[in-house]
Amino acid sequence: MSGAEEPVNVSGDVSGFGRHVMGEGVDLSHGPILYMDDITVSFDGFRALNKLTLTVEAGELRCVIGPNGAGKTTMMDVITGKTRPDEGTAFFGQTIDLTRLTEPQIAHQGIGRKFQKPTVFENHSVFENLELAMKTDKTVWASVRAKLSREQLDRIADTLQLIKLNGEADRQAGLLSHGQKQWLEIGMLLMQEPRLLLLDEPVAGMTDEETERTAELFKSLAGERSVVVVEHDMEFIESIANIVTVLHEGSVLAEGTMDVVQNDERVIEVYLGR
């Protein structure tokens, strides 16, 4: 396989790729999709997460905000198994103990993660990127298109529509704008049908118009999938938020509707400013 087929910009891992249908084992019969309680993560004695407790309901679109270093990315690292907590409980659904699984196992259980920088296969078309994301064996490129079932083609078409790239299906991914690459990567995650999607600063570097379209996309995902979005762009957060969690020094400082957190004195103090 030539280097051209490696994902450019592997800022994170690609272990979530290549799953067929994820999240079949997650038990949502009662209770939340994500349950974290008293999670502590220390780096050389420094507590990046300090007794963090957070619950996300199935179908929810949860926004997480907070100053630099608050622990937002570390929280995602714990959920995806990249970082093991020193203490605390983290469950996906009722029965899946996230602190006992590896990163690939967690991805396979139905948690998809998007890192800040787009990780797409630049030398392949938009269509092929989505097709690849659906494959179990991503090393096989030859004549794959011929083998796609009607149902798979429909899924790709639906995803293209959702990520607003239906006009760009045959375009080389490397030629897309930054925002379009971000959408494509979200589309690639969606092809694996995750139950929970974690998005770290998805609109960073996007134009205002791309940011607005991303807000529409996220709102259309809620309900069917659970989504946790970390962002610093407050205008964007306002446009999508239902419940907002504010992290500060590794713990939840405030949680509630946008209105509630925006008027919280402590949140204004440490993050939003006056």
Ligand X SMILES: Nc1ncnc2c1ncn2[C@@H]1O[C@H](COP(=O)(O)OP(=O)(O)OP(=O)(O)O)[C@@H](O)[C@H]1O
Cβ closer to ligand X: 56 or 70? 70
Residue the block writes with tokens 């969606």: 190
The span from the CA of 47 to the CA of 131, in Å, is 41
**What does the per-residue mask of binding to ligand X show for 15-54, with x meaning CB under 6 A?**
----------------------------x----x------
The span from the CA of 255 to the CA of 13, in Å, is 30
Q: What is the CA radius of gyration of the chain?
A: 19
Among 35, 55, 69, 252, binds ligand X (CB under 6 A): 69
Could you say which residues in the range 74-113 bind ligand X, by CB under 6 A?
A: 74
Cβ closer to ligand X: 27 or 235? 235
Please count the other Cβ atoms lying within 10 Å of the Cβ belonging to residue 37.
14
Cβ closer to ligand X: 36 or 134? 36
The span from the CA of 28 to the CA of 31, in Å, is 6
Among 26, 39, 54, 70, binds ligand X (CB under 6 A): 70
Give 126's Cβ-side CA count (13 Å radius). Answer: 24
Cβ atoms of residues 141 and 226 within 8 Å: no
Q: Tell me how far, at minimum, the Cβ of 46 lies from Mg ion, in Å.
A: 15
* Contact flag: residue 73 with ligand X (CB under 6 A): yes
- Which among ligand X, Mg ion, none contacts residue 48 (Cβ within 5 to 8 A by kind)? ligand X
Give the range of 61-69, 154-162, 175-183, 206-214 binding ligand X by CB under 6 A: 61-69
* Contact flag: residue 245 with ligand X (CB under 6 A): no
* Contact flag: residue 71 with ligand X (CB under 6 A): yes
Q: Tell me how far, at minimum, the Cβ of 64 lies from ligand X, in Å.
A: 9
Which amino acid is located at 45 in the chain? G
Cβ atoms of residues 162 and 220 within 8 Å: yes
Return the structure tokens found at 13: 């891992």
Considering only CA atoms, which of 271, 219, 222 is closest in space to residue 245? Answer: 271
Q: Tell me how far, at minimum, the Cβ of 158 lies from Mg ion, in Å.
A: 31
Cβ closer to Mg ion: 52 or 133? 52
The span from the CA of 53 to the CA of 17, in Å, is 29
Binding residues with ligand X: total (CB under 6 A): 10
Residues that bind ligand X (CB under 6 A): 43, 48, 66, 68-74
